[in-house]
Amino acid sequence: MKNKWVAVLLAIMAGGFGVHRFYLRQPELGLLYIGIYFWMSFFKILNFPLSTLIGWYDAYRLLMMDQNEFDRRYNSHNFRDRYGNRRDQTKEQSSRQGRYILLDEDENTTQKSRRGYFDLYKSKKKSESHKQSGIKKFKNYDLKGAIEEFKLALDLNSSDTSTHFNIACAYSLSEKAKEAFKHLDEATSLGFSDFDKIMTHESLSFIRVMPEFEAFRTNQFRLSPEILESLNKTEQEQVLELSRSKEQVVVENKGGYGSYFEKRINDPFK
């Protein structure tokens, strides 16, 4: 690490010989200063050699330079962009020193570079494996297992339109309308255009009879805030109705069991 103040002092005291340039890892410029000193020592301004005046000018520039700018120029000399200019280095880049960096990098491109072509190929292949497993479970009426497999596939490849369509079918058969609509909307946004399949596929019959489906179809099979709000209300109503049904079943069962045990107690032939 080069110190800014050391460079300033060297430029003031021995700038005519380019010592500060040697200190800052610029030997070519340092040799140039020495050449100027010996070959042009006869050309003086105020009785000072020209190279000495240049050294003092360098001292002034270094003194006025921001510390971050100084570090960028002189403490990251091994890192250059594709144009040969020095550049800032991130913490991750400092651990992999090299002579050149061929491409401009920032934190985003550094993170993306971790996933090479083979990593992406491997992810897509694994995603396809989960999708096929989900289709197999779907055909065997294991809807819960199929949904889990489709979710794993989407985690690895979220832009697969067929997986979004398949999981929408599974959610529709599971009577989870909002989730089915969401994945159909996502598939359409990613380029799915086989709308006849949405209108005719048997697994989507549940959502096609819902009043929100007509608005969904009219909106080019895309969700709108109004449709989503309506689906949320419908979902809440279904939850309340299911809760009431469960309470009614519990009450009826309690009454039934009470009558049964009462008969057993009063039965003279027990």
Distance, CA of 56 to CA of 49 (rounded, Å)? 11
Query: Could you report the per-residue pLDDT of 164-205, keeping only the tens digit for each?
Result: 999 999 999 998 989 999 999 999 999 998 999 999 999 999
Per residue in 112-137, pLDDT tens? Answer: 444 556 677 788 889 999 999 999 99
Domain that holds residue 29: 1-75
Is position 268 within any domain? no
Residue 23 has pLDDT above 50, yes or no: yes
Question: CA-CA distance, 37 to 46, in Å (whole number)?
Answer: 15
Q: Is 193 in the same domain as 166?
A: yes
Please state, as a whole number, how many other Cβ atoms lie within 10 Å of the Cβ of residue 103. 9
Is 167 a domain residue? yes
Residue 269 covered by a domain: no
Residues 87, 31, single domain; the answer is no
Domain-embedded: residue 253? no
- Grade residue 108 by pLDDT with cuts at 50, 70 and 90: very low
Q: Which helix (H) or strand (E) holds 49?
A: strand 48-49
Number of separate domains in the chain: 3
Per-residue pLDDT, 267? 53
- Name the pLDDT band for 99 (thresholds 50, 70, 90): very low
| Structure-token pair, residue 106 | 């920032």
> Is the pLDDT assigned to residue 3 strictly greater than 50?
yes
- Single residue among 114, 137, 172 that ends a domain in this structure: 114
pTM: 0.50
* pLDDT above 60 (res 144): yes
Arithmetic mean of pLDDT over the chain: 76
Distance separating alpha carbons of residues 227 and 164, to the nearest angstrom: 19
Task: With beta carbons less than 8 A apart as the criterion, state whether 174 and 147 touch.
Answer: yes
Domain assignment present for residue 186? The answer is yes
pLDDT in tens, 234-254: 878 767 776 776 666 555 555
Structure tokens at 42: 């006869």
Q: Identify whether 43 is part of a domain.
A: yes
